Amino acid sequence: MAKMDTKTNTGEISVEEKLRALYNLQKVMTEIDKIRTLRGELPLEVQDLEDEVEGLETRIHNLNAEIKNLNNAIQEKKNGIKEADLLIKKYESQQSSVRNNREFESLNKEIEYQNLEKELCKKRISEFEIEMKAKQEAVANSQAFLEERKSDLESKKKELDNIVSDTKEDEEKLKKKAKEIEKDIDDRLLTAFKRIRKNARNGLAVVTVERDACGGCFNKIPPQRQLDIQSRKKVIVCEYCGRILVDSEL
């Protein structure tokens, strides 16, 4: 059914007034939709930033623990060098009181082994130091990124708080306004409005004719039909999408 029969009797609200009320109601509902969209996205953005901050903090914490482990490992290797030095000294002093060449050579072997141990310790230390430097750089980078994210989060949170407190008031006002407008629309039309709005993806139940086409689905409207819409004597809906059509002058 493309046309709803709405005869104007004396004392009743004219179709034109009904159309105007519907169009006004649509505008108010679109405003409410905008507020909800605005609010609907911000908490998600805040949540994303909170997750990111938490992730960075964990990363920095883990890197610092790894740096601490490397520091301990370096200290261990340094102690290893000290121990080797002590052993070398001990073996060298023992060499001065050996009884034969075989004992001297045997101590020489021990000294050689301890020198190899020292070299190995030094090699490990330089490896650990390179690893540690890379981790320290990663900490510095993550720290800088974290500070950035934290300030982003703070401003987004503030924005959200403001929007929530601001829009609560605005939304209430708009809802009140919608209720007022609804009084000028009969139940049958109002139910149709709500049903169309619910099914329309962008929440538009009432659209204007734009460039000879429906403002909701953009299908062409024949000239005679456009004249009918302009006459404002009947409620006319789009044949394609079912939205209520009004002329852009309304």
Residue 107 or 214: which CB sits closer to Zn ion? 214
For residue 173, CA distances in Å to 9, 29, 112, 194, 205 come to: 33, 12, 90, 19, 21
Point out which span in 15-23, 69-77, 186-194, 232-240 binds Zn ion (CB under 5 A). Answer: 232-240
Residue 28 or 207: which CB sits closer to Zn ion? 207
Residue 63 or 241: which CB sits closer to Zn ion? 241
From 22, 189, 192, 238, residue interacting with Zn ion (rule: CB under 5 A): 238
Interface characters, 185-214, with Zn ion (x: CB under 5 A): -----------------------------x
From 73, 240, 247, 250, residue interacting with Zn ion (rule: CB under 5 A): 240
Residue 80 or 242: which CB sits closer to Zn ion? 242
Please name the residues in contact with 174: beta carbons below 8 A apart, sequence gap of 6 or more: 28, 31, 32, 35
From 217, 230, 233, 234, residue interacting with Zn ion (rule: CB under 5 A): 217
Point out which span in 39-47, 97-105, 175-183, 238-246 binds Zn ion (CB under 5 A). Answer: 238-246
* CA separation for the pair 41, 18 (Å, rounded): 34
8 Å CB contact between 15 and 8 = yes
Q: How many CB atoms lie within 10 A of CB 63?
A: 20
216 contributes a contact to Zn ion by CB under 5 A: yes
Residue 21 or 205: which CB sits closer to Zn ion? 205
* CA separation for the pair 29, 19 (Å, rounded): 15
* CA separation for the pair 30, 69 (Å, rounded): 59
Query: What minimum distance in Å lies between the beta carbon of 190 and Zn ion?
Result: 20
Query: What minimum distance in Å lies between the beta carbon of 215 and Zn ion?
Result: 8
What residues are paired with 235 via a beta bridge? Answer: 4
8 Å CB contact between 56 and 184 = no
Kindly state the tokens that stand for 122. 């030094």
Phi, psi of 68 (to 5 degrees): -60, -45
Query: What minimum distance in Å lies between the beta carbon of 237 and Zn ion?
Result: 8
Which residues sit at the interface with Zn ion, rule CB under 5 A? 214, 216-217, 238, 240-241
